[in-house]
């Protein structure tokens, strides 16, 4: 190869690379549970993002946004990491989003700084996730955020002795700690703290043990999905509800799609959560209308669609702030302190923790017009993540 | 004391679910010498059919069980005719494993494609849902139903295999198929009927056990190990063996869940190791 040709080909290669980098299409990789037992929640990621795109278009300035979805089926950190790597290297995504399970989010965190990629966590709810990298923001919730109000409510409703039963992994342990600390500080006693393996399907023995412990209230957390239904059914079928033992949980345990399966016997179950499909506001109505217009079913909407909807909002803002350049510091800085009214109520991104501040609602399972809903009966304003924030 | 009673009641309920699903596999493995790794897949098909019958067609629970059992047998019939028939008794274990695991993956894929990837619930009729007061504690009514089903199946199978003409012919076909054939027993028919029986029992167990082992696309693989363990601990082909293995393992698992739930399935597998160590051919198995 002679000199000019070599020079030309180098230039051509550079030209190709630079068009690759400043191309008009900005890709966002979304890792979610699109299939398997938790498929509903991954599909909700897509419903939420689609709703945002339908309302705001697929362009920010001159940049076209493209969402690329990857499926992670179950808690599987190795696979999530591999998927993230593939998205970064092969698909050249500029932003990552999604992640239903904490262990999966933790596995992706180390890749972010090296690749200069911001990650918007759309579900995984262990407090420590945002500390794993300065490039992580979260639009979902944390266990501390939702559990602390639950403990206050339980104590206020006259509970003296509570039993805690949680799934044995990050968020479960967060929930256990949050409830124990708050409940005991309020003057209650915790009789049992049971950690149930994630693959537990038979809750009968656990229910009986709780009953034998003499607790008047059960606090529980399991990740939304198949096991929660089994837990609530075991609670009812083993006679704890009839015996007057109260069930208090975060909203994960009574997500709306499960309520018809629990049936009438679920009426009255209390939970604290940041989003109910029945939330009464113009923003939520517009959001749900958009989802239905986009072909989604109202009966299948869960909290992950709202987290994804707001997550898309953050990504659009970050793209706008950086004008499509790969600049994670600037991108993250642009969303710190951001405030808006989400379908779930007023929210803001805490500038210190990069985690969402939001109202947490006390809800009660109720029947309205023949449909089961989580009826909001009390509001705890602008809750921070109680583990990360000092105030 | 009350705690012990509670544990025993839960253990029996869990054990009976294991028994109802595993007994079909035990028959296949013991009498026809087929290590049928697709047994869980047949139980899963039963569950899917029942769920579909109730939720989409509005059938009653009893009708749904019938649909599940008959439907699963019909779906599996071509597999029996085309594939299983070649691996009864004589084939080596590796061929059987590869063939049946292949069938399992095929069924998982089809179930995913036809019914979608989400969990399928099988709503219980009012009579079977809710708690039942058994004196010293409340027990889910459904568990009592499952216990009763397990008992009936055990007795009926024992009668079928030990006291009926069919049982005599089956045992003859199993012990010496060439001799049985030359005596005029149509072994092929006997085998097909036994296969249908095993598959039907699997489907039945899949439906009534769905409260404990929820129906989802990976059901076929997820619980297969448990079913195999029951059969190998009990001794393949022995009804009494499968029954006592199910109850023993149910007891180990339930006690573990009761006293130390954070250990998960540790006690279940500890029991398996101990039993297999003490009884290498299973509790009631014969050395072949």
The mean predicted confidence, pLDDT, of chain B is 88
Q: In this complex, do B118 and A199 lie within 8 Å of one another by their Cβ atoms?
A: no
| A239 at interface of B, judged by CB pairs closer than 8 A | yes
Flag if B264 and A208 touch (Cβ within 8 Å). Answer: no
A37 and B216: CB-CB below 8 Å? yes
> Which of B131, B254, B257 comes nearest A239 by C-beta?
B131
Asked if A75 and A198 count as a contact pair (C-beta separation under 8 A), the reply is yes
pLDDT tens-place string over residues B45-86: 999 999 999 988 999 999 999 999 999 999 999 999 899 888
Token pair in block for residue B20: 């109802």
Among A173-177, A190-194, A384-388, B100-104, which is the least confidently predicted range? Answer: A384-388
Q: Identify the CA nearest to A122 among candidates A222, A44, A216.
A: A44
Task: List CB contacts (< 8 A) between A229 and chain B.
Answer: 121
Q: Does the pLDDT value for residue A351 go beyond 70?
A: yes
* Subunit contact B257:A239, Cβ cutoff 8 A: no
Q: Which residue of B has its CA nearest to A212?
A: B3
Q: If pLDDT is split at 50, 70 and 90, which confidence band does A2 have?
A: low
State whether B214 and A226 contact (CB < 8 Å): yes
Under an 8 A CB cutoff, do B212 and A200 touch?
A: no
Task: Tell me if residue A354 falls in helix, strand or coil.
Answer: coil
Across the interface, whether the CB atoms of A39 and B130 are under 8 A apart is answered no
To the nearest whole angstrom, how far is the Cα of B169 from the nearest Cα of chain A? 40
Q: Do A212 and B3 touch (CB under 8 A)?
A: yes
Mutate to test the interface with B, among A37, A242, A244 (most CBs of B within 10 A): A37
Sequence-distant (≥ 6) Cβ neighbours of residue A147 within 8 angstroms: A174, A175, A178, A179, A182, A219, A221, A250, A272
Say if the Cβ atoms of A194 and B262 lie within 8 Å: yes
Of A40, A195, A237, the CB nearest to B131: A237
Q: Is B181 exposed, middle or buried (0-12, 13-18, 19+ CB in 10 A)?
A: middle
| Count of beta carbons in the 10 Å neighbourhood of residue A247 | 22
Contact between chains at B123 and A261 (C-beta distance less than 8 A)? yes
pLDDT above 70 (res A227): yes
Quote the tokens at residue A98: 């999604």
Q: Do A238 and B133 touch (CB under 8 A)?
A: no
Q: Chain A residues with CB inside 8 Å of B6's CB?
A: 205, 208, 212
Residue in B116, B142, B216 closest to A226 by CB: B216
**What does the alpha-carbon distance between residue A354 and residue B143 come to, in Å, rounded to a whole number?**
48
Report helix, strand or coil for A151: helix
Q: Which of A3-7, A315-319, B239-243 has the lowest mean pLDDT?
A: A3-7
- Interface probe with A: pick from B261, B263, B265, B267, most Cβ of A within 10 Å: B261
Give chain B positions within 8 Å (CB) of A199: 264-265
Q: Do B138 and A226 touch (CB under 8 A)?
A: no
- Model pLDDT, residue A7: 56
Supply the mean pLDDT for chain A. 89
Whether residues B141 and A36 touch (CB distance < 8 A) is answered with no
Q: Taking CA atoms, what residue in A is nearest to B116?
A: A35
Percentage of the residues of chain A whose pLDDT score is greater than 90: 68
pLDDT above 70 coverage of chain A, percent: 94
How many CB pairs below 8 A link A and B?
107
For B100-111, the pLDDT digits (tens) are 999 999 999 998
- Interface predicted TM-score of the whole assembly (ipTM), two decimals: 0.81
A233 in reach of chain B (CB within 8 A): yes
Instruction: Examine the pLDDT at A3 and tell me if it is beyond 70.
Output: no
pLDDT of B148: 94
Cβ pair B133:A239 closer than 8 A: yes
Q: For chain B, which ranges sit under pLDDT 70?
A: 286-288
Nearest Cα residue in chain A from B142: A237
Other Cβ atoms less than 10 A from the Cβ of B86: the count is 11
The yes-or-no verdict on residue A21 having pLDDT over 50 is no
Tell me, yes or no, if B55 comes closer than 8 A to chain A by beta carbon.
Answer: no
Q: Which of A197, A225, A238 sits opposite B131 (nearest CB)?
A: A238
Distance of CA B93 to the CA centre of its chain: 20
CB of B250 within 8 Å of a chain A CB? The answer is: no
Which of A208, A229, A265 has the CB atom closest to B137's CB atom? A208
A212 in reach of chain B (CB within 8 A): yes
Using the beta-carbon criterion (under 8 Å), do B118 and A39 form an inter-chain contact?
yes
What are the CB-based long-range contacts (under 8 Å, 24+) for B98-101?
B100/B34, B100/B35, B100/B36, B100/B37, B100/B38, B101/B37, B101/B38
3-state SS, residue A36: coil
Q: Are A166 and A176 in contact (CB under 8 A)?
A: yes
In chain B, residues with a C-beta closer than 8 Å to the C-beta of A231 are none
What confidence tens digit (pLDDT) does each residue in A70-81 have?
998 778 899 999
All residues of chain A having their beta carbon less than 8 Å from the beta carbon of residue B127 are none
**Minimum mean pLDDT among A93-102, A262-271, B34-43: which range?**
A262-271
Q: pLDDT-based confidence at A20, cuts 50/70/90?
A: very low
Q: Quick check: A205 and B10 CB within 8 A?
A: yes
Which chain A residues contact residue B265 at CB under 8 A? 197, 199
Shortest CA distance from B141: residue in chain A: A237
Residues 162..181 of A with a Cβ closer than 8 Å to B: which? Answer: 168
| pLDDT value for B288 | 52
**Residue appearing with tokens 């300065």:** A134
Contact list in B for residue A239 (CB cut-off 8 A) is 131, 133, 137-139
Per-residue pLDDT, A8: 56
């Amino acid at each position: 190869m002679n000199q000019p040709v070599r020079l030309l080909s180098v230039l051509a290669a550079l030209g190709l690379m630079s068009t690759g980098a400043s191309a008009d299409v900005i890709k966002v990789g979304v890792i979610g549970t699109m299939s398997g037992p938790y498929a509903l929640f991954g599909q909700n990621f897509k419903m939420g993002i689609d709703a945002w795109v339908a309302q705001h278009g697929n362009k920010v300035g001159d940049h076209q946004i493209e969402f690329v979805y990857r499926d992670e089926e179950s808690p599987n950190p190795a696979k999530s990491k591999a998927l993230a790597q593939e998205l970064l290297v092969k698909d050249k995504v500029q932003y990552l989003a999604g992640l239903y399970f904490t262990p999966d989010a933790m596995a992706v965190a180390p890749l972010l700084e090296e690749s200069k990629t911001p990650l918007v966590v759309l579900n995984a709810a262990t407090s420590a996730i945002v500390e794993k990298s300065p490039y992580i923001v979260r639009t979902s919730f944390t266990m501390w955020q939702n559990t602390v109000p639950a403990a206050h409510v339980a104590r206020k409703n006259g509970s003296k002795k509570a039993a805690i039963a949680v799934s044995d992994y990050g968020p479960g342990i967060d929930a256990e700690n949050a409830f124990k600390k708050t409940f005991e500080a309020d003057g209650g006693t915790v009789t049992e703290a049971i950690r149930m393996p994630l693959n537990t399907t038979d809750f009968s023995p656990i229910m009986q043990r709780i009953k034998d412990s003499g607790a008047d209230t059960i606090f529980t957390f399991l990740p939304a999905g198949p096991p929660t239904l089994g837990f609530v059914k075991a609670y009812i079928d083993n006679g704890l509800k009839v015996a007057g033992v109260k069930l208090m949980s975060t909203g994960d345990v009574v997500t709306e799609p499960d309520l018809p399966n629990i049936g009438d016997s679920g009426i009255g179950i209390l939970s604290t959560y940041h989003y109910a499909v029945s939330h009464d506001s113009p923003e939520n109505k517009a959001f749900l209308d958009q989802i239905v217009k986009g072909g989604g079913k109202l009966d299948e909407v869960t909290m992950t669609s709202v987290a994804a909807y707001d997550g898309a909002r953050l990504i659009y803002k970050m793209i706008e702030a950086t004008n499509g350049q790969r600049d994670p510091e600037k991108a993250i800085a642009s969303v710190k302190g951001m405030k808006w009214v989400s379908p779930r109520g007023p929210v803001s991104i805490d500038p210190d923790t990069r985690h969402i501040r939001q109202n947490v609602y006390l809800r009660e399972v109720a029947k309205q017009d023949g449909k089961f809903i989580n009826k909001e009966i009390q509001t705890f304003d602008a809750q921070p993540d109680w583990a990360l924030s000092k105030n | 004391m009350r705690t012990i009673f509670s544990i025993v009641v839960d253990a029996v309920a869990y054990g009976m679910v294991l028994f109802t699903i595993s007994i079909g596999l035990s028959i296949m493995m013991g009498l026809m010498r087929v290590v049928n790794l697709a047994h869980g897949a047949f139980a899963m098909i039963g569950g899917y059919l029942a769920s579909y019958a109730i939720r989409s067609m509005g059938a009653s629970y009893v009708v749904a069980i019938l649909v599940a059992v008959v439907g699963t047998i019909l779906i599996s019939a071509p597999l029996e005719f085309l594939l299983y028939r070649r691996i009864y008794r004589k084939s080596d274990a590796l061929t059987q494993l590869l063939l049946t695991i292949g069938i399992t993956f095929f069924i998982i894929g089809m179930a995913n494609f036809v019914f979608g990837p989400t969990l399928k619930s099988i709503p219980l009729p009012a009579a079977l849902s809710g708690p039942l007061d058994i004196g010293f504690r409340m027990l889910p009514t459904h568990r009592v139903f499952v216990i009763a089903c397990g008992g009936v199946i055990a007795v009926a199978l024992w009668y079928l295999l030990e006291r009926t003409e069919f049982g005599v012919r089956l045992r003859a076909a199993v012990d010496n198929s060439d001799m049985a054939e030359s005596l005029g027993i149509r072994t092929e028919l006997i085998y097909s009927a036994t296969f249908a029986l095993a598959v039907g029992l699997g489907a039945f167990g899949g439906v009534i056990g769905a409260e404990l082992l929820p129906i989802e696309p990976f059901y076929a693989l997820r619980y297969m190990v448990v079913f195999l363990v029951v059969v190998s601990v009990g001794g393949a082909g022995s009804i009494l063996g499968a029954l006592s293995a199910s109850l023993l393992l149910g007891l180990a698992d339930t006690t573990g869940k009761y006293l130390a739930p954070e250990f998960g399935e540790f006690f279940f597998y500890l029991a398996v190791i101990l039993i297999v160590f003490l009884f290498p051919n299973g509790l009631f198995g014969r050395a072949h």
